[in-house]
Each structure stands twice: as C-alpha cells, then as structure tokens.
C-alpha cells in the first residue's frame, strides 16, 4: 500500500534546523528575494533561456531588492547587511537561475566591491550610487583568451603617457560586457605589475562584442573587451592596490556568494525531483516508492544539508573577517559540484521529461557547467586546498 503525500514546496529545505541560526533580518531578506524570484524570474526564465536572451529589465528590480552589494555599506550604494544575508540573497537568486545570480555577483562583488575597496573617494562617489541603483551596469575583466586559470600571465597592458594611460589588449568571457556602462579592468603596467582601473564604455578604442553559441548560462550575456589605444584618465586607475591580490580579493567575495548560490540551484532541482517522484507512477506505484529513487532523493537532501552547514559556517567566519581564501575555495568547489551532481540525478528522476523546459532541471544543469568553471575551475580550487594543507604550491 502506498500513499501520495501532499508536499509544501519548501518543507524539506531546512533538514537540520539551520533557520534557527538565522536572524530575523536574514529571514526577511530571504522571503523578499524568494517572492521577487517567484514573481519576476520564474515565469519568464525558460523563455529567455530558450532564446539565449538576457532579461535586462531585471537589473532595476535586482537593485530594488538590494541584490547589488548586500554587504557593502549603504553610503556607498550597498545594502549594509552582513555576509550571511548576502549569501542567502545569492541562494534565492540562483534558485531562479544561475545567470540572474551572476548579474548580481558581477555588479556587487566584482564591480562595486573593487571600486569601494580600491578607488579614490571621488571615484567611489562617481560610480557606486549609480551601480547600486542599477542605473549603471558594470563588468569585470580579468580573463584573457590565453590566460584563464593563470591570470598572472595576462598581456593586457597600460603605458604611462604623462597625463593619461594608454590601454591595449583584450579580455574574454566577460559577463555583462556588451551591456556594460563601465568595466573594471586588470592590466599590467610597464613594470609588469597588475593594476586595476575603471574603463567607460564611451572611451574611444573600447568595444565589447558579444560571444554567441553558449549552451550554458543562456539568460546571461557574455562578451569580450577589446582595447585599442584606449586613453584611460589617471584618476581612473586604483591608487592603492598593486598585484594579483587585487582581482583575487574580489574573486574571494564573489566565490563566497557562489558557494551559497549553488545551494539555490540544487534546491530547485531537488524540489522538482521530489514532487515528480510523488506524482509520476510506473509499475502501479509512484516512482518515489522505489528504493533506487529514494536513494537518489535521500542522498540529495544529505548533500544539500552538508552544503548548507558549510555555507553557514563560512558566513559566520566571513562576518568576523576570518574566512580565508582557501576556506572559500573549498566551499565554492564543494557546493557547485554538489549542485551539478544533484541536477544530474534530478534529471534522471524526471525521465524523458527531464530534458525539456517543462521543468527547470536541465537549465540548471547546463548553467552549473559554467559555474563549475568560472571564478576558478573545480580543479583550480582543489589545488588551492591542496596547497593549503600540504604547503606545496602546484602552480609554480
Ligand atoms: P599567487 O602567487 O598565489 O597569489 C598572488 C597574490 O594574491 C594573494 N591571493 C589572494 N588575495 C586575496 N584573495 C585571494 N583569494 C587570494 N589568492 C591569492 C596571494 O597571497 C599573493 O599575495 P602577495 O601579497 O604575495 O602578492 O598567484 P598565482 O599567480 O600563483 O595564482 C594562483 C591561482 C591559480 C590560485 C589564481 O591565479 C587563481 O585563483 N586562478 C583562477 C582564476 C579565476 O578564478 N578567474 C576568475 C575570473 S572572473 C570570473 O570568472 C567571473 S564569473 C562572473 C559571474 O558571472 O558570476
Ligand atoms: P583554462 O584555464 O584554459 O583551463 C582549461 C582546463 O585546464 C580546466 O579544466 C582547468 O581546470 C585545467 N587547468 C588549468 N590549469 C591547471 C593546472 N595548473 N592544473 C590542473 N588543471 C589545470 N572571467 C572574467 O574575468 N570575468 C567574467 O565576468 C567572466 N564571466 C564568465 C562567464 C562565463 C559564461 C564563462 C564560461 C566564463 C567567464 N569568465 C569570466 C572566465 C572564467 O573565469 C574562465 O573561463 C575560468 O577561469 C577558466 O579559464 P579558461 O576558460 O581559460 O580555462
């Protein structure tokens, strides 16, 4: 005898009572973003993804719900919340789509954060309020066609011309670049030292062609950055940061958000698979009654729960400014891998229906292939952990 159990979509999301560790502010932020995603993202995302179109109208809404720089100070366009609130917001956005979370990650952690942390006060005032309100869209240019995992080999460069710098080179795989009003760009000076700067879209010699043909992150727009003798005013170059630790510090912020975000994608796949397993019948009973399906679902919620605990503890460390880059790497790697495995298992539970856009699973699965690679690949993060525990640097 079997029975069909009515499920509240979110009832199994907190298997270990982690909500008890959250504050009222965290829970409020979560429900506000969750409602926004349900209303603004879920109804349109399959269509935009199908057409490989970016829902650019969502930038304003993302700004309104405080998704850009949630943990940056309010006077600089941020949300003034803590790191756990930032993580929870990324989780709820990625429950909708990794591309929507990407919009927020880039704007907040890779554009607003470096300007907040490294630019002059005048530059902060010039750019941050417009970025926080969504009036400006920003992008982050580190990766080059021949330098992805190894950004220290970059060849994009600036030359001191006295009253300005001349910027030459190109960047590849840049989220939001074709839409961006400004780009935070990393380039080497004449001494070979990596410097950061803000490049504005109207500067002559700067273009940002779109990259087409992605099977992943299709609702997110990706492009190149091309610099041909671009005159960059001296005041646009960050005065106080030199070397690769500049861009890597921004990546730490964004990787932290991804560690939380991936849980959202995993939860959406798990929800869909759980409900399907209770509704779909084969051999005279729901497929959820078969032990092999239960194994998949039990392992999914176990892995999600472990990832939630990792993210929560990382968030507590980050709130005390104690989260190390290696701890962030571990969480980014584990949680994205977890989400991708769950998407693949959830796809199987949906049978043939799993490959269609009737369900969100295949879209999440394709998106997560990018998430596994950007912000440091799965194997690069493994090597960061390896270096941390052994003391041997496999990159040198
Ligand atoms: P290495 O010699 O290890 O380090 C250079 C300096 O940086 C310091 N450092 C960090 N600082 C802050 N945060 C971190 N996470 C840091 N990691 C390292 C380090 O202490 C050192 O400081 P100092 O004072 O001694 O100069 O550098 P390396 O050249 O050996 O590289 C190490 C490696 C491979 C780990 C690094 O290059 C790396 O992480 N590579 C992966 C590249 C990557 O993640 N690219 C991402 C591009 S952006 C992107 O993907 C955005 S996707 C956006 C979206 O849509 O969401
Ligand atoms: P490669 O570095 O060429 O790596 C290829 C393979 O070799 C990987 O499996 C890698 O793990 C492996 N490998 C490399 N080195 C080692 C090693 N030492 N040991 C073992 N294995 C190794 N970048 C930005 O700057 N800004 C953005 O906004 C941005 N957005 C992106 C959006 C999308 C959709 C994508 C796909 C990428 C984006 N990226 C962005 C670039 C992303 O960060 C890079 O793709 C990533 O860092 C990997 O670089 P790569 O693609 O050149 O791969």
Q: Is the pLDDT of residue 5 over 80?
A: no
> From the CA of 375, how far away is ligand 2's center (Å)?
7
Confidence of residue 12 (pLDDT cuts 50, 70, 90): low
Token code pair at residue 94: 């990625």
Separation between Cα atoms, residue 311 and residue 331, nearest integer Å: 7
In a domain, 376, yes or no: yes
CA angle, residues 37, 41, 47, in degrees to nearest 5? 160
- By the 8 A CB rule, do 250 and 230 touch? no
Does the pLDDT at position 370 exceed 70? yes
pLDDT digits (tens, 9 = 90+) for 249-273: 999 999 999 999 999 999 999 999 9
Question: Do 111 and 42 belong to one domain?
Answer: yes
54 & 109 share domain: yes
Ligand number nearest CA of 384 is: 1
In a domain, 10, yes or no: no
Same domain, 144 and 108: no
Residue 352: Cβ-neighbour burial (10 angstroms; 0-12, 13-18, 19+) = exposed
DSSP string, 227-238: EEEEEEEGGGB-
Domain of residue 185 covers 139-236
CA atoms within 13 A on the CB side of 250: 28
Q: Which of 92, 91, 66, 65 is nearest to 77 (CA)?
A: 66
- Among all bound ligands, the one having the nearest atom to the CA of 221 is 2
Our count of domains for the chain comes to 3
For residue 279, how many other CB atoms are within 10 A of its CB?
A: 12
Q: Are residues 64 and 118 in the same domain?
A: yes
> pLDDT per residue over 185-227, tens digit each?
999 999 999 999 999 999 999 999 999 999 999 999 999 999 9
The secondary structure of residue 332, as a DSSP letter, is: H
Position 13 scores a pLDDT of 81
Question: Does 318 share its domain with 253?
Answer: yes
Same structural domain for residues 111 and 184?
Answer: no
Q: Is residue 178 part of a domain?
A: yes
236 CB contacts (<8 Å, ≥6 apart)?
Answer: 123, 197, 198, 199, 200
Q: What is the SS3 assignment for 136?
A: coil
CB 123 within 8 A of CB 234: no
How far apart are the C-alpha atoms of 217 and 209, rounded to whole Å?
17
Which ligand is closest to the CA of 102, given by its number?
1
Tokens at residue 4, please? 């069909």
276: in domain: yes
Distance 115 CA to ligand 1 centre (A): 18
Write the DSSP symbol of residue 147.
B
Percent of the chain at pLDDT > 90 equals: 96
- Picking from 96, 114, 132, the residue at the C-terminal end of a domain is 132
Q: Could you give the residue numbers annotated as active site?
A: 375
> Domain end: 90, 105, 132, which one?
132
Measured from the Cα of 143, ligand 1's closest atom is 47
pLDDT at 240 over 90: no
Task: Quick: pLDDT tens for 153-168.
Answer: 999 999 999 999 999 9
Q: Which atom of ligand 2 is nearest to the CA of 379?
A: 11
Among the atoms of ligand 2, which is closest to the Cα of residue 395?
18
Supply the DSSP symbol for 270: H
CATH code of 173's domain: 2.40.110.10
Indicate whether 214 and 253 sit together in one domain: no
Is residue 167 in a domain?
yes
CA distance 273 to 265: 12
Residue ranges of the alpha helices (H) in the chain?
A: 24-36, 45-50, 58-64, 83-96, 98-105, 113-118, 121-132, 245-279, 291-319, 325-349, 361-373, 378-390
d(CA 288, CA 276): 8
Shared-domain flag, residues 381 and 253? yes
Name the phi and psi angles at 363, rounded to 5.
-65, -45
Q: What pLDDT digit, counting tens, does each position of 39-72 carry? A: 999 999 999 999 999 999 999 999 999 999 999 9
Share of the chain above pLDDT 70, in %: 97
Tell me: pLDDT of 8 over 80: no
**CATH code for position 268:** 1.20.140.10
- The counts of H helices and E strands in the chain are 12, 9
First to last CA, the chain: 62
Q: Which of 107, 245, 260, 373 to mutate to test the pocket of ligand 1 (most atoms within 8 A of CB)?
A: 245
CA distance 350 to 232: 53
| Dihedral sign, Cα of residue 314, residue 319, residue 322, residue 324 | positive
374 CA to middle of ligand 1, Å? Answer: 12
Give me the CATH number covering residue 87.
1.10.540.10
Residues with CB under 6 A from ligand 2: 106, 139-143, 148-149, 173-175, 217, 222, 370, 373-375, 377, 379-380, 383, 395
Please give the Cα distance from 360 to 128 (Å, whole number): 34
| Section 136-151 average pLDDT | 98
């Amino acid at each position: 005898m079997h029975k069909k159990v009515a499920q509240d979509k979110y009832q199994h999301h907190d298997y270990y009572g982690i909500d008890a560790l959250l504050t009222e502010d965290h829970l409020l932020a979560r429900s506000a973003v969750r409602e926004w995603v349900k209303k603004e993202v879920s109804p349109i995302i399959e269509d935009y993804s199908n057409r490989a179109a970016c829902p650019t109208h969502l930038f304003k809404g993302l700004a309104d719900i405080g998704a850009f720089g949630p943990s940056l100070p309010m006077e600089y366009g941020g949300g003034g919340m803590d790191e756990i609130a930032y993580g929870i917001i990324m989780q709820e956005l990625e429950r909708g789509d990794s591309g929507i979370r990407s919009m927020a990650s880039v704007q907040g952690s890779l554009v607003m954060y470096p300007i907040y942390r490294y630019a002059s006060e005048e530059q902060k005032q010039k750019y941050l309020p417009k970025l926080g309100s969504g009036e400006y869209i920003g992008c982050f240019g580190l990766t080059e066609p021949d330098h992805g995992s190894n950004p220290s080999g970059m060849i994009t460069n600036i030359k001191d011309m006295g009253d300005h710098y001349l910027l030459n080179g190109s960047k590849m795989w840049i989220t939001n670049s074709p839409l961006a009003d400004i780009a935070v760009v990393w380039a080497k000076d004449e001494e070979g030292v990596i410097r950061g700067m803000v490049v504005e879209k109207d500067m002559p010699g700067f273009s940002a062609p779109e990259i087409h043909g992605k099977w992943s992150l299709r609702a997110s727009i990706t492009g190149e950055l091309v610099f041909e003798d671009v005159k960059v005013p001296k005041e646009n170059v960050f005065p106080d940061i030199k070397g690769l630790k500049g861009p890597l510090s921004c990546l730490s912020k964004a990787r932290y958000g991804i560690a939380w975000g991936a849980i959202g994608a995993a939860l959406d796949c798990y929800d869909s698979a759980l409900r399907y397993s209770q509704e779909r019948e084969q051999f005279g009973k729901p497929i959820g009654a078969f032990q092999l399906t239960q194994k998949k679902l039990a392992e999914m919620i176990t892995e999600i729960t472990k990832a939630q605990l990792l993210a929560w503890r990382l968030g507590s460390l980050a709130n005390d400014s104690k989260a190390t880059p290696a701890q962030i790497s571990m969480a980014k790697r584990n949680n994205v891998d977890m989400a991708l495995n769950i998407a693949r298992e959830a796809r199987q539970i949906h049978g043939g229906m799993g490959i269609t856009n009737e369900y969100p699973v295949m879209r999440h699965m394709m998106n997560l292939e990018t998430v596994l690679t950007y912000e440091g690949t799965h194997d690069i993060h493994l090597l960061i952990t390896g270096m941390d525990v052994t003391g041997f640097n496999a990159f040198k």
